[in-house]
């Protein structure tokens, strides 16, 4: 694994980031970071920090709506979230 892959691995194979991706997958549409923070019982600032990492990995997109940012999974992000959800259900 190269350095970038190792960093991404370390980001996603922790509880909160995995819960974020699964939460985004299960959301009926676009979702706000603050809603996601409440859903996974995490602080807003921590969620934003992780979401920035996830965005760099091209798994989510931010869409500005006024002062707020809506989140959506990219095609790649949906695929990763589906795999994580499957792993969660298997455990």
Instruction: Determine the angle formed by the axes of helices 15-26 and 75-90, rounding to 10 degrees.
Output: 110
DSSP state of 76: H
3-state secondary structure of 75: helix
Indicate the burial class of 17 (C-beta count within 10 angstroms; 0-12, 13-18, 19 or more): buried
Q: What is the mean pLDDT of each run of 10 residues along the chain (91 residues)?
A: 71 82 89 91 92 93 87 95 86 70
Helix (H) or strand (E) holding 68: strand 68-73
**Residue 55, Cβ neighbours under 10 Å: how many?**
15
pTM check: above 0.75: yes
- Structural domains of the chain ordered from first start: 3-90 (1.10.10.10)
């Amino acid at each position: 694994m190269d350095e970038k892959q190792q960093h991404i691995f370390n980001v996603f194979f922790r509880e909160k980031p995995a819960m974020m991706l699964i939460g985004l997958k299960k959301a009926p549409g676009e979702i706000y970071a603050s809603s996601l923070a409440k859903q996974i019982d995490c602080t807003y600032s921590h969620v934003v920090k992780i979401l920035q990492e996830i965005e760099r990995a091209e798994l989510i997109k931010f869409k500005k709506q006024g002062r707020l940012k809506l989140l959506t999974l990219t095609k790649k992000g949906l695929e990763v979230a589906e795999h994580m959800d499957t792993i969660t259900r298997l455990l």
